[in-house]
Amino acid sequence: MNKALRDAMNDQVRNEFHSAYIYFSMAAYCESINMPGFAHWLYVQSQEEIEHAMKFFDHLNERGERVALQAIEQPPTEFDSLLEIAQAAYGQEQTVTGQINDIYDIAVEEKDYPAQALLQWFAMEQVEEEDTTSQLVERLKMVGDEPAALVMLDRELAGRQPEEEE
Ligand code: MG
C-alpha cells in the first residue's frame, strides 16, 4: 500500500475516534441539562463513529499495514444550546466529508482499487451523516425555545436505533 494512503488512513482512524469523542462530550452536556433523548441519539452517533474508525483499522490490517494509533484532541466540553450542538455536529460531518474526499483522491491517484471501494462506502455514508445532522439543525430551528416541543423532540430522539452493520 502506498505510504501517503496508509498515513491518511491512520490519520482517519484518529479523526473518526475524535468524532466519537466530540459526540460523547455533547451527550454529557445533554445529560447535564436533562435531555436524555438527545444524549441517547449522540451515544448512537458516537458508536457509529467508533465503527467507522474500525473500518479503516481493519482495512489497514487486512492489507498487511501497521495501525498506529494517535493522540485524540480534547473535545469541546461547554455548549450553549441544543441548536449549537446540532450545528456543530453538522459542521463536524462536513469536515469529515472533506477528509474522506481527500483520502479518496489519494486512492485514485495511486490506482488503489480496494481502498477506493472502501472510500465509496464512506462517501455515501457521509451523505447520510450530513442529512441526519442537518435535519436535526432544521428541526431545532422550528422548535425554537418552546420547552414542550423540545421535550417532545427529546422523546422522539430517544428512539434512535443503531444502524444495521453492512
Ligand atoms: Mg464517521
Q: Return the number of other C-beta atoms located less than 10 Å from residue 59's C-beta.
A: 20
**Does residue 165 fall inside a structural domain?**
no
166 found inside a domain? no
**pLDDT tens readout for residues 114-165:** 999 999 999 999 999 999 999 999 999 999 989 999 999 999 999 988 877 6
Note whether residue 118 is domain-resident: yes
> Residue with C-alpha cell 488512513?
9
Q: How far is the CA of 34 from the centre of ligand 1 (A)?
A: 26
By 3-state DSSP, what share of the chain in percent is helix, strand and coil, each rounded to 5? 75, 0, 25
Residue 96 Cα to ligand 1 middle (Å): 7
CA–centroid distance, residue 64 to ligand 1 (Å): 23
Grid cell 436533562 — which residue? 34
Q: Which residues surround ligand 1, an ion (CB under 5 A)?
A: 16, 49, 52
Domain limits at 146?
3-69+76-157
Give 18 Cα–ligand 1 centroid separation in angstroms.
Answer: 9
Contacts of 1 by beta carbon, 8 Å cutoff, 6+ apart: 60, 63, 64, 65, 112, 115
Residue 125 domain-assigned?
Answer: yes
What CATH number is given to the structural domain containing 27?
Answer: 1.20.1260.10
Q: For residue 42, which of 144, 150, 158, 165 has the smallest C-alpha distance?
A: 158
Prediction pTM value = 0.94
Q: Please, what is the average pLDDT of the chain?
A: 96
What is the Å distance from ligand 1's center to 114 Cα? 19
Q: How many folded domains does the chain comprise?
A: 1
Distance in angstroms (rounded) separating the CA atoms of residues 61 and 55: 10
